[in-house]
Amino acid sequence: MKQYWILLIIGFLGLGYVSCTSYKEKDNQKQDTPLRGEITISADESFKPIIDELVKVYESNNRGTQINVEYKPEADCVKDLWNDSIRMVISTIELTEPERLSVVDSLHTVVKQLAVARDAITVIVNPHSSDSLFNMAEIKEILTGKNVKGLFPVFDGVKATSTVRYIMDSVLKGEKLTEKAVATRTSDSVINYVARTPLAVGFIGVSWIGNQDDREQLSFLKKVKIAHLESNDTPGKYILPLQANLYMKKYPMTRDLVYILKESHKGLGWGFGNFMSGEIGQLIFKRAYLMPGLKSFRLRPIQLNEDEK
């Protein structure tokens, strides 16, 4: 995995020198502040619902601001670390300190990164599927094409996305992904494909389907079922990607949502980063069924619509 980042960063190192105007000069020209201005950020498509909500609330609270979001596969977000027109990258990318310093040296700017929430890879199945309980060995069988029932995986692309990278690095760990894997263009396309394909098993971020207060996501839940995965701490117990399970690291497939800010002054990017890590931003993550990364909350017993199995 380290080699993956090193190769990508070295490959795009030269892009940092394309512009003759330094970051500092461009920032001074724009004269943006946390309350005024316009910036462009690059974000992993897997997190579109939650980022859309964060931007909407920030702009409504700060009428003089405009945050333009370009949604992309994660590999393209990596490229944007070297794009001096992109002020912030939001994805599961987390730079090592040498990598962060490499960006600093190349772009002559300040680079800050922070994990603001914890997400889960949610497994979805067709509503008529008899299989909705999986342990990680069975998930690996599906991913490698060894499932005896013919179940096969569906992703938002077979390469370059954060979901696929997580599966390759943290689940398969060197084993080959089946040639039966299906690539769709977006996460909602994964949902629609699984909804009409009985043997398909989809892998998407929980922010696409976890929020039962969102009308669109409620419509998604009518099309597919969320599978239960075997808990990390209790063999034989199958759980959903709920916040408490992410917080306690019981759910087996979790990942952090990280922002990387490239800004040498306290501008609009700095303001939006503080917003995500602050009280309102963390509450938005919580309401979207991600686990807030910087604010603690109490765990209390509740009655779920669908009991853990």
Torsion (CA) 219, 224, 226, 228 in degrees, nearest 10:
160
Q: Which stretches in the chain have pLDDT values below 50?
A: 3, 7, 10-11, 13-25, 27-29, 299, 301-308
Both tokens of 7, joined, read 């190769």
Q: Specify the amino acid at residue 37.
A: G
Per the CB < 8 A criterion, the answer to whether 275 and 281 are in contact is yes
Q: What is the pLDDT of residue 219?
A: 78
Per the CB < 8 A criterion, the answer to whether 70 and 87 are in contact is no
Q: What is the pLDDT of residue 308?
A: 47
Per the CB < 8 A criterion, the answer to whether 135 and 228 are in contact is no
Q: What is the pLDDT of residue 27?
A: 45
pTM: predicted TM-score of the whole model, two decimal places = 0.82
For 190-202, write each residue's pLDDT tens digit: 999 999 999 999 9
Q: What is the pLDDT of residue 15?
A: 47
> Taking the alpha carbons of 97, 99, 83, 47 in that order, is the dihedral positive or negative?
negative
HEC profile for 145-175? Answer: CCCCCCCEEEECCCCCCHHHHHHHHHHHCCC
The angle subtended at Cα 231 by Cα 226 and Cα 235, nearest 5°, is 130
Q: What is the pLDDT of residue 221?
A: 80
Q: What is the pLDDT of residue 210?
A: 66
Q: What is the pLDDT of residue 129?
A: 95
Q: What is the pLDDT of residue 275?
A: 98
CA nearest neighbour of 261 among 42, 98, 66 = 42
Q: Please, what are the domains in the chain?
A: 2-118+255-292 (3.40.190.10), 119-247 (3.40.190.10)
CB atoms within 10 A of CB 235: 8
Dump strand ranges (E) for 64-199.
Answer: 64-72, 88-91, 111-125, 133-134, 152-155, 182-183
Of the chain, the percentage scoring pLDDT greater than 90 comes to 70
